[in-house]
Structure 1
Amino acid sequence: MHMVTVMQRGVWPLLLWPFLRTVSIPLDCQEEQGSPSRCPSISQEKLLDRVIQHAELIYRVSEESCSLFEEMFIPFQLQLQRNQAGYACITKALPLPSSKSEIQQISDKWLLHSVLMLVQSWIEPLVYLQTSLDRYDAAPDMLLNKTKWVSEKLISLEQGVVVLIKKMLDEGMLTANHSEQGLFQYDVQPEMLDSVMRDYTLLSCFKKDAHKMEAFLKLLKCRQTDKYNCA
């Protein structure tokens, strides 16, 4: 695939590398052989703080990735075309609150489950996105690395949210069901322009959903400390 040549390819890693180095304390929810998962040993307050920190970083890096992709591959005319075509986000069908009033009214339980739904819905699409970007002739390593980093951190975030649900709501451990949701199909091979626009849509939509994850978690944190002043 012949893409736009990146004139300042050597400059981007210097500008964007700090975002990849700004890595939070790991959630450490993965179970190693012969040892229990570490997340249950973390206090609820500290776990929520770490989950929020992960969500903040994921949104920050996704925002930079989207801007970089847009600058490299999406001329202004294509940005208008995307807006006019009305590309829909893959999570549009999820039962999520869509207004400030709805967000304020939903329970802590549904805030957490909303975050979990968003996280799980994006795990497979981000794997597809990595595969797709690997086929771009001019995609810099920084963009590829950032996408891979976000994908890995999203799985870590999922584990943290699952344990947080167990701690806060006294529910049984939830299993990941992103492979069964059927929200995203990528088994077709689109034309070059369609592929670029679809990848751009994925990045743009993920950036918006990553911001939702961060906002929901921060609202939850606010409710834990100042329940009546979280507008």
Structure 2
Amino acid sequence: YRMIRFLFMQRGVWAVLLLPYLLTVSSPLDCREEQGSLSRCPSISQEKLLDRVIQHAELIYRVSEESCSLFEQMFIPFPLQLQRNQVGYACITKALPIPSSKGEIQQISDKWLLHSVLMLVQSWIEPLVYLQTSLDRYDAAPDMLLNKTKWVSEKLISLEQGVVVLIKKMLDEGMLTATHSEQGLFQYDVQPEMLESVMRDYTLLSCFKKDAHKMETFLKLLKCRQTDLYNCA
């Protein structure tokens, strides 16, 4: 515990050094011109909705990347980074039927691209709530990191709403209900030791960054298929 507290204090300076980079977060998007939620999307065209959903996913990925970088620089010394890689912490979405190879992604239908995005989004809603609670217990966690985690959590719910409406528009399906609370992919445990807690949070941030990139990639591939079906490799 003392080692972790020392690392917190030693690496707190990174919050200042990374400040200009971490403040480059755009405003939340909406189907209208003013700011708001993607839940107000049924009235706009399918093409415009897809563009807005992609923009939303891009922002979420960018902020998740910034948050992961800040957390790593402040709390994870290089030996612990190696330990995480060696132990091979599994991501919570590993069990989901999400295509992983380039060949699989190219072969799946538009329907499964959308449903893959929706599964990823819904699977991360609860873990990000846990992550906010966990980070609140850190002695040296900067407000910037806490605020970014909260922002991503809120925008993920908005992205879920937009993807649900997009599925309805593109696939002529009924409105889908959120199922993240019933999937059982993430379990809340008794508060772990400090080092274990830090590594768990680091794993969550790293895995979410990867999955956020998948969401963005799948949506951009879907957009490409709408405009240039034979040139989306």
TM-score by length of structure 1 reads 0.90
In the other structure, the counterpart of 2:31 is 29
Q: Is the 8 A contact 1:65 1:143 kept in 2?
A: yes
Quote how far apart the aligned CAs of 1:87 are. Answer: 0.3
Quote how far apart the aligned CAs of 1:38 are. Answer: 2.4
Given the superposition, is the C-alpha separation of residues 157 and 192 from structure 1 closer, same or farther in structure 2, using an over 3 Å criterion? same
Q: Distance in 2 between matches of 1:33 and 1:25?
A: 7
In the other structure, the counterpart of 2:74 is 72
Given the superposition, is the C-alpha separation of residues 34 and 97 from structure 1 closer, same or farther in structure 2, using an over 3 Å criterion? closer
Quote how far apart the aligned CAs of 1:91 are. Answer: 0.1
Quote how far apart the aligned CAs of 1:3 are. Answer: 2.7
Given the superposition, is the C-alpha separation of residues 139 and 35 from structure 1 closer, same or farther in structure 2, using an over 3 Å criterion? closer
1:10-55 CA distances to partner (integer Å, 9 max, x unpaired)? 9767766677766667554899999996210011111100100010
Given the superposition, is the C-alpha separation of residues 158 and 78 from structure 1 closer, same or farther in structure 2, using an over 3 Å criterion? same
Q: Which runs of 5+ in 2 are unaligned?
A: none
Q: Distance in 2 between matches of 1:199 and 1:92?
A: 17
Q: Distance in 2 between matches of 1:80 and 1:8?
A: 20
1:178-210 CA distances to partner (integer Å, 9 max, x unpaired)? 000000012321111110000000000000000
Given the superposition, is the C-alpha separation of residues 2 and 131 from structure 1 closer, same or farther in structure 2, using an over 3 Å criterion? same
Q: Bigger CA drift: 83-92 or 18-27? A: 18-27
Q: Which runs of 5+ in 1 are unaligned?
A: none
Q: Is the 8 A contact 1:166 1:172 kept in 2?
A: yes
Q: Is the 8 A contact 1:91 1:121 kept in 2?
A: yes
Given the superposition, is the C-alpha separation of residues 177 and 36 from structure 1 closer, same or farther in structure 2, using an over 3 Å criterion? closer
Q: Is the 8 A contact 1:24 1:54 kept in 2?
A: no
How many residue pairs match? The answer is: 231
1:66-101 CA distances to partner (integer Å, 9 max, x unpaired)? 010001000111011111111000000000101000
Q: Is the 8 A contact 2:120 2:211 kept in 1?
A: yes
Q: Does 1:119 align with 2:92?
A: no
Q: Distance in 1 between matches of 2:145 and 2:20?
A: 13
Q: Is the 8 A contact 1:111 1:217 kept in 2?
A: yes
TM-score by length of structure 2 reads 0.89
Q: Is the 8 A contact 1:66 1:207 kept in 2?
A: yes
Q: Distance in 2 between matches of 1:31 and 1:135?
A: 38
Given the superposition, is the C-alpha separation of residues 36 and 154 from structure 1 closer, same or farther in structure 2, using an over 3 Å criterion? closer
